Amino acid sequence: MTDASDPSSQPLMGHLTELRTRIIKTVAAVVIGAVVAFFFRELMLDMLQRPYLAVSDRELIITGPTQPFSIAMRMALFGGALLASPVIFYQAWAFINPGLTIRERKWAFPVVGALLFLFSLGVGFAYWSLPRALGFLLTILENLEAFVTVEAYTRFVIRFLLLFGISFQFPVFLYGAAAAGVVGSDKLASGRRWAVLIIVTVGAAVSPTGDPLTLLVLSTPLYLFYEATIWIIRWTLKK
């Protein structure tokens, strides 16, 4: 007999209702964040253009009357997602929280904090590496003159930043798998070759450019995270 007061014992419809509630709260947070970010769209666009202007003497252009509106909406949605990221991570954790033990629930704030820190670190690292990636991409064929549209550029940069932000969170899930007993530090250490292969393959598949420089810039910190996670697992999960 199940206890109706225990979320972990809810039937399937109860879990679906809980999922719907978490999704609604997440979407609401993104919408509110987007409204706030809309008023800073010019500042956000200026920040995203700086890496391009650092490697090119040409201004970004528009090719249609509707592009400024779509770009403003993209800036607002991107900014809203960044502002709502604490809520997004918390709602994801809150959804799986009922299925955890009391001891595991104590990890809520450290896990959410680690996800936020690594996401911010990934976005910051991607922004720092943007001029180098753009310099390589724009000069690979020197006989071509680059006239880049704001539409194409902002789409590329946002995907680039989000890719790094999301990818940088994989140590948390790797540590979670070790804490759950799925893998151990010895097994991870013996699987370094497979780890390199998986990191490079996945990086090539999800990279917005596919160029070797971006792949190297993404894969290097991910592998360093892999090695660091092995040591963290080894020293904190001895028991």
Model pTM score? 0.79
Mean pLDDT of the region 42-68: 89
Instruction: Give the number of other Cβ atoms within 10 Å of residue 52's Cβ.
Output: 22
Rounded Cα distance between 118 and 232, Å, is: 15
Checking if the pLDDT of 36 tops 50, the result is yes
Q: Can you give the pLDDT at residue 176?
A: 81
Task: Quickly state the pLDDT bin for 30 (edges 50, 70, 90).
Answer: very high
Q: Can you give the pLDDT at residue 25?
A: 93
Selection from 118, 134, 141 nearest residue 217 by Cα: 134
Selection from 38, 125, 113, 115 nearest residue 74 by Cα: 38
